[in-house]
Amino acid sequence: MFKGENIYIRPFSEEDAVPLLRLQTDNRPFFEKFSMERKEDFYTVDTQLQRIQTYQEESSNDQSYTFGIFTNEGRLIGTINLFQVLRGSLQSAFIGYFLDEKHNGKGYMTEAVILLVEYAFKELKLHRIEAGVMPHNIGSIRVLEKSGFHKEGLALKNVKINGKWEDHQVLAVINPND
């Protein structure tokens, strides 16, 4: 567990399947504006349990690291992850996150990103973390910039969201110790 001032992040456990389903269901229209298409069976406890088991396997294999974002009172309000972890001469990963729409604008995601970047650089010894954000998602770009990320350019039509190829602003942060 990694603790900030108002939130903490920790890896998911099987007990989190129901709260994770609730988070996904409550925010379905909001999340689907920014994510890949999801089939109806995504919104089941069984699928959420499978996702948590996959998160644990991928973490054990140094492929990705997925955490829940919790209020200090223990309520799940979001997810944050490092994915496509590359080793060798690259030592990099991508960051992704979702926050309950009701909690936007409170600084929680900035805290979570800072905690995850610190973990990535200090514990995982990564050199670079990259993010891709739809250019109209100003809030997410602001979160990344407040967390130390810098803009690098625009990746044209690189992620398919709701059946349409979308551009993404590319941002990155480099380990200051490298």
pLDDT at 41 over 90: no
Domain that holds residue 13: 2-174
Which helix (H) or strand (E) covers residue 7, if one does?
A: strand 7-11
Least Cα distance to 117 among 107, 128, 108, 101 occurs for 128
pLDDT at 34: 64
List pLDDT tens digits, range 113-134: 999 999 999 999 999 999 999 9
List pLDDT tens digits, range 77-113: 999 999 999 999 999 999 999 999 999 999 999 999 9
Residues 11-38 have a mean pLDDT of: 85
How far, in Å, CA of 71 to CA of 151, rounded?
29
The total number of structural domains in the chain stands at 1
163 contacts 37 by C-beta, under 8 angstroms: yes
Least Cα distance to 131 among 166, 81, 87 occurs for 81
CATH code, domain carrying 93: 3.40.630.30
